[in-house]
């Protein structure tokens, strides 16, 4: 496993990290969750990503139990705040009240005294940015959070936060967590150039497009049994990509992966890691074999000719519009 700096900070993260959205506390049983975490640790992953909202807070509990007994200094634990964790108007968003209550809940469920990275899961249009950033800064001073970042913020929102942090002397954001894959490249035009200039990294989610880039979803055929597309929680998120044109183009990537001696999942993870602004690709898994397959992408170099072939095969199904990075206008 290779390691990269998180933004301009001194923190190193494993370039492949393990995340538990959709899976822990929901799609997979606790035993499978524990085995996936164990496989991740055995393969050299040290960085784990979760969120208060995953599986209605159960995912953090599952991860906390799975990591129990592992030397804390050998792990980087990331979590997030914004999406609702309860029914009340203050159980969501980035107010001082919700952030403070949410981080305490996360620390309790994860069974740790601090998280390495605390991320604003979306931009909150209903809280002054100063309030959110001051609260984050207070958590850093209190030692409950070591670094702060955001997720799915656009370039303008990140720039606003950096300006306030610099004016007020608050801790600066070190990372953004966007969706990024061969199929979804919306960060490349604006977020990545700003981040490079300002010292933020991307920690990218769904690098294999939730399983689509493994090539296991075949055009014109029902999804394989037990896959995310058949899961009540996961099915909604993946359905956008399950159309015959996109799935046919993905099948046409198979010879490229085969020529390189890579699995399709490895090619997809390696592709995001070619971007030097990416500090880590967060992989999800329902089975330990998937973790063991996907981690082999660490250290793989893809040359310009391979990248061009991939672009030619995928053609118009690649999404590049920076306006596709959106946070809800009103809190959910």
Any contact of residue 175 with ligand NAP (CB under 6 A)? no
| Among 211, 241, 253, 256, interactor with ligand NAP by CB under 6 A | 211
Nearest to 199 by CA among 152, 149, 145: 149
Helix (H, G, I), strand (E, B) or coil at 79: strand
Stretch that binds ligand NAP, among 159-167, 183-191, 192-200, 285-293 (CB under 6 A): 285-293
Nearest to 195 by CA among 298, 270, 276, 274: 276
Q: Are 200 and 176 in contact (CB under 8 A)?
A: yes
Any contact of residue 215 with ligand NAP (CB under 6 A)? no
| Among 62, 66, 129, 265, interactor with ligand NAP by CB under 6 A | 265
Nearest to 176 by CA among 193, 158, 159, 198: 158
Q: Are 214 and 203 in contact (CB under 8 A)?
A: no
The two structure tokens encoding residue 254: 């198979």
Stretch that binds ligand NAP, among 5-13, 166-174, 283-291, 301-309 (CB under 6 A): 283-291
| Among 53, 63, 209, 273, interactor with ligand NAP by CB under 6 A | 209
- Angle 58-67/96-110 helices, nearest 10 degrees? 40
Minimum distance of ligand NAP from residue 19's CB (angstroms) = 2
Any contact of residue 57 with ligand NAP (CB under 6 A)? no
Nearest to 148 by CA among 123, 122, 125, 117: 117
Enzyme catalytic residues: 54
Cβ proximity to ligand NAP: between 38 and 138 the closer is: 38
Minimum distance of ligand NAP from residue 168's CB (angstroms) = 26
Minimum distance of ligand NAP from residue 265's CB (angstroms) = 4
Any contact of residue 155 with ligand NAP (CB under 6 A)? no
Site string for ligand NAP, 112-141 (x = CB under 6 A): ---------x--------------------
The two structure tokens encoding residue 247: 């799935």
What span, in angstroms and rounded, lies between the C-alpha atoms of 282 and 17?
A: 5
Q: Are 140 and 171 in contact (CB under 8 A)?
A: yes
Any contact of residue 176 with ligand NAP (CB under 6 A)? no
Binding positions for ligand NAP, 15-34, rule CB under 6 A: 19-23
Residue 224 DSSP label? P
Determine the size of the site formed for ligand NAP (CB under 6 A).
30
Any contact of residue 35 with ligand NAP (CB under 6 A)? no
Nearest to 170 by CA among 130, 123, 114, 200: 130
Site residues, ligand NAP (CB under 6 A): 19-23, 49, 121, 151-152, 177, 205-211, 214, 216, 227-228, 265, 282-286, 290, 293-294
């Amino acid at each position: 496993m290779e390691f990269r700096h998180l933004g301009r900070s001194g923190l190193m993260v494993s370039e492949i990290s393990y995340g538990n959205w959709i899976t822990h506390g929901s799609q997979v049983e606790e035993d499978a969750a524990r085995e996936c975490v164990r496989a991740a640790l055995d393969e050299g992953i040290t960085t784990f990503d979760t969120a208060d909202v995953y599986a209605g807070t159960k995912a953090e509990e599952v991860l906390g139990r799975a990591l129990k007994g592992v030397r804390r200094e050998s792990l980087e634990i990331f979590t997030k705040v914004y999406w609702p964790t309860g029914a009340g108007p203050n159980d969501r968003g980035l107010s001082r009240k919700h952030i403070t209550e949410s981080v305490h809940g996360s620390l309790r469920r994860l069974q740790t005294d601090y998280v390495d990275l605390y991320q604003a899961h979306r931009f909150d249009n209903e809280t002054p940015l100063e309030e959110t950033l001051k609260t984050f800064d207070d958590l850093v001073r209190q030692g409950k959070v070591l670094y702060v970042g955001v997720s799915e913020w656009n370039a303008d929102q990140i720039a606003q936060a950096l300006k306030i942090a610099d004016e007020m002397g608050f801790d600066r954001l070190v990372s953004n967590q966007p969706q990024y894959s061969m199929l979804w490249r919306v960060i490349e035009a604006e977020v990545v150039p700003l981040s490079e200039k300002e010292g933020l990294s991307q920690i990218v989610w769904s690098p294999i497009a939730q399983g689509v880039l493994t090539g296991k979803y075949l055009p014109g055929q029902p999804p394989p049994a037990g896959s995310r597309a058949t899961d009540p929680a996961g099915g909604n998120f993946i359905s956008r990509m399950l159309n015959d044109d996109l799935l046919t183009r993905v099948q046409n990537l198979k010879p490229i992966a085969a020529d390189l001696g890579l699995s399709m999942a490895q090619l997809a993870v390696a592709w995001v890691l070619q971007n030097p602004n990416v500090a880590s690709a967060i992989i999800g898994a329902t089975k330990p074999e998937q973790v063991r397959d996907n981690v082999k992408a660490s250290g793989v170099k893809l040359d310009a000719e391979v990248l061009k072939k991939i672009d030619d095969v995928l053609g118009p199904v690649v999404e590049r519009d920076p306006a596709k990075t959106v946070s809800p206008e009103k809190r959910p």
